[in-house]
Chains A and B, each alone.
Chain A
Amino acid sequence: MFDVLFQPAIDGQLYIQWLLSGLMWTLLLAVGGWWIAFAIGVLVGVGRTSRNRAVALAARLYVEVFRNIPVLVQMFLWYFVLPELLPTGLGDRIKQMPPPWGAFFPALACLGLYTAARIAEQVRAGIEALPAGQDEAAAALGLSPWAARRHIIVPQALRLIVPSLTSEVMGIYKNTSVALTIGLLELTAQARQISEATFQTFGAFAAATIIYLLLALVAYRLMLWIDRRFQIPGSAPARKARRLPILRRGGAL
């Protein structure tokens, strides 16, 4: 079934090399996008719980905008519309970026900022789930609101939301496939190219599917490890994979 992968393509490479190159771009996009999403998501999520009205409103606006516009539309906005809105010089320079980067950076921004909005809501939920006594104790000790969030609130909220962050990790790399619409040759795009060049549609897409599933397994395992690693000693070993019944430990994905 996977014979096709080991046949030479017109450019002299084996098709499997096409697939691996696609995998590399998928991973770059997912991992890079994740760090952007995590950094912005935590900041915006904290902003959502701010007592400063302007800050809370700005954070809310961010979430509503980036979470509610379909990813595909956002991808087009970053790729086609943004360069037109910028001053001509800058816009032209963006349009002239050499091939993979010209699609990669808009895709990175798109997935990073979209996922950030989703993470922000998780972070907010995590913060709101903490007992009020934590905030009160921090305040009573003279910690500034910033220090209280930095050292007391956010570290606990993040631990609480590891299970739901797991689905965000899976979400972002699945969404990387949307980048093919703006011409990034990531995993799905490469599978499609192989299929078009060889008419071995089944083999090409089966290989891509298996790679996606393996990635999911790796991501899940990684998050499980993080969950354990940051488990608070003496706290009840509650929650765990409960919120992800399909991926329960021991289950075959």
Chain B
Amino acid sequence: MNSPVPTDPVIRLTEVNKHYGNFHALRDVSLEVAKGEKIIICGPSGSGKSTLIRCINRIERHDSGEILVDGHRLTGDTKDVAAIRREVGMVFQSFNLFPHMTILENCTIAPRKSRGLGKAEAEERAMHYLTKVRIPDQAGKYPGQLSGGQQQRVAIARALCMQPRVMLFDEPTSALDPEMVKEVLDTMVELAEEGMTMLCVTHEMGFARQVADRVIFMDRGEKIEEAAPGAFFTNPQSPRAREFLQQVIH
């Protein structure tokens, strides 16, 4: 684990624990993410990957330990939670677009209602990001009229419209048909190249090799390994990671 220690962390988790009832879902997880870093999180099903990134914007609340995002400490204080959520964008496995709104409305609702942007300004910004993900021509349609890949790109644009400092991705391509995976990954690579700070749960190892600064391997709620992608993929330290990689690659 000779990865560089981040100097100016945008996100810092210190010994974070999380239970669901009696089930210990996160065990003393610590993690620092510097501005512009790309972190890939992988691990077997049920290992706590989703739980980990969902704690960062408090979609789940942790029980103990400390989470700092962009200088805000995550406690029960709703003001801090709101401030953090404005700075942290999230993309879900199942897209979670708002089906009753057009693509454009999906992208403008949060900037208007939570950042206080005017309609014209919000729409201009939405079109900018929809163009970036290459679907400006779909702005007037509804989510149900788009393909999965298009929906996920809208979800990315929707999150970007809040101009977040950090983006969280929870298996963004797992629900997609194989032929649509690439268009979403391409969008994410572009985002990475522009310097966005990213935490991404994914099993797309090609993508991980291409963009990751560090790979985090989780198992049973614990952070087992943290390494540069080259080192992790060619020479994983723990037997569990080795076993996991064998399964993913085959």
- Asked if B59 contacts A136 (CB within 8 A), the reply is yes
Residues of A within 8 A of B142 (CB): 232-235
Residue of A nearest to B82 (CB): A142
A135 to chain B, nearest CB (A): 9
A152 touching B114 by the CB < 8 A rule?
A: no
Look across to chain B and name the residue whose beta carbon is closest to the beta carbon of A159.
B100
CB closest residue in chain A, given B146: A234
Give the docked Cα–Cα distance between A86 and B109 (Å): 46
What 0/1 readout, one digit per residue, does chain B (92-130) give for beta carbons within 8 Å of chain A? 101011111000000001100111000000000000000
Interface size class of A (residues with CB under 8 A): 20 to 34
Does B162 reach chain A (CB closer than 8 Å)? Answer: yes
Contact B90 A140 (CB under 8 A): yes
Complex Cα gap A198–B71 (Å): 84
Question: Known contacts being A142-B82, A142-B162, A143-B114, is A137 close to B98, with CB within 8 Å?
Answer: yes
By a CB distance below 8 angstroms, the chain B residues around A136 are 59, 92, 96
Contact present for B86 and A156 (CB under 8 Å): no
Indicate if B85 sits at the interface (CB-CB under 8 A).
yes
Q: A232-B142, A232-B144, A234-B142 are in contact. Are A137 and B113 (CB under 8 A)?
A: no
Residues of A within 8 A of B92 (CB): 133, 136-137
- The reply on B57 being an interface residue by CB < 8 A is yes
Chain B interface residue bracket vs A: 20 to 34
Q: Which residues of A contact B114 (CB under 8 A)?
A: 141-144, 147
Q: Complex Cα distance A23/B142, Å? A: 43
Flag whether A17 is at the interface (Cβ < 8 A): no
B198 at the A/B interface (Cβ < 8 Å)? no
Instruction: Determine whether the beta carbon of B109 is less than 8 Å from that of A151.
Output: yes
Chain A 125-155: CB-based contact to B (< 8 A → 1; otherwise 0) = 0000001011011111111100100011001
Between A and B, how many residue pairs show CB distances below 8 Å? 78
Q: Does B14 contact A (CB under 8 A)?
A: no
Q: Find the residue from B85, B113, B142, B162 having the highest chain A CB count within 10 A.
A: B113
Contacts of B90 in A (CB 8 A): 137, 140
From B94, B96, B143, give the contact of A234 (CB < 8 A). Answer: B143
How far apart are the CA atoms of A93 and B92 in the complex, in Å? 60
Most chain A CB inside 10 Å of its own CB: which residue of B86, B88, B92, B109: B109
Contact call A137/B96, Cβ cutoff below 8 A = yes
Q: Residues 47-77 of chain A: 1 if any B CB is under 8 Å from the residue's CB, otherwise 0? A: 0000000000000000000000000000000
How many angstroms between the C-alpha atoms of A143 and B111 in the bound complex?
Answer: 9
A residues less than 8 Å from B141 (CB atoms): 233-234
Beta-carbon nearest neighbor of A153 in chain B: B98
Which chain A residues numbered 169 to 192 have a C-beta less than 8 Å away from chain B?
none
Given contacts A232-B100, A232-B144, A233-B145, contact A140 B57 (CB under 8 A): yes
11 residue pairs of the A-B complex, CB under 8 angstroms, read A133-B96, A138-B98, A141-B109, A141-B158, A142-B86, A142-B114, A143-B110, A143-B113, A233-B141, A234-B143, A235-B142
Can you add 6 more A-B contacts, CB < 8 Å, to A133-B92, A232-B100, A234-B145? A133-B94, A232-B144, A233-B145, A234-B143, A234-B146, A235-B144
Which positions in A face B, CB cutoff 8 Å? Answer: 131, 133-134, 136-144, 147, 151-152, 155-156, 159, 232-236
